[in-house]
Amino acid sequence: MTATSNKSRDQAESIFSRTRTQSMSLNRIISEQDAVSQAREAKTARLRELRLEREAEDMAAAAALAGVPKGVGPKRAGRR
């Protein structure tokens, strides 16, 4: 009976060990995916801020040019 008990215990420990290893691997994969996702979100937010700043500058420049009469604008090289 002891041999049967030891065999069952060994099988149970083996199954538990495999399950624990799979769980640890899954947790590692999930945390790597989370890190990649967070990095992507941070980069997207940074790029969005830069784009919005650039668009605001472009709109301000266009508004400034729209308010200036044609003959008063910046001088162009080569024209007199």
Distance CA 38, CA 33 (A): 9
Which range of residues forms the domain containing residue 13? Answer: 2-66
> Considering the domain boundaries, does residue 7 fall inside one?
yes
User: How many distinct structural domains can be found in the chain?
Assistant: 1
> Considering the domain boundaries, does residue 73 fall inside one?
no
> Considering the domain boundaries, does residue 43 fall inside one?
yes
Report field, pTM of the whole predicted structure over 0.85: no
Residue located via tokens 């992507």: 40
> Considering the domain boundaries, does residue 21 fall inside one?
yes
Give residue-wise pLDDT tens across range 22-69: 999 999 999 999 999 999 999 999 999 999 999 999 999 999 988 876
pLDDT at 5: 82
> Considering the domain boundaries, does residue 74 fall inside one?
no
> Considering the domain boundaries, does residue 75 fall inside one?
no
> Considering the domain boundaries, does residue 33 fall inside one?
yes
Mean pLDDT of all residues in 4-22:
93
> Considering the domain boundaries, does residue 18 fall inside one?
yes
The residue that leads in pLDDT, 9 or 71, is 9
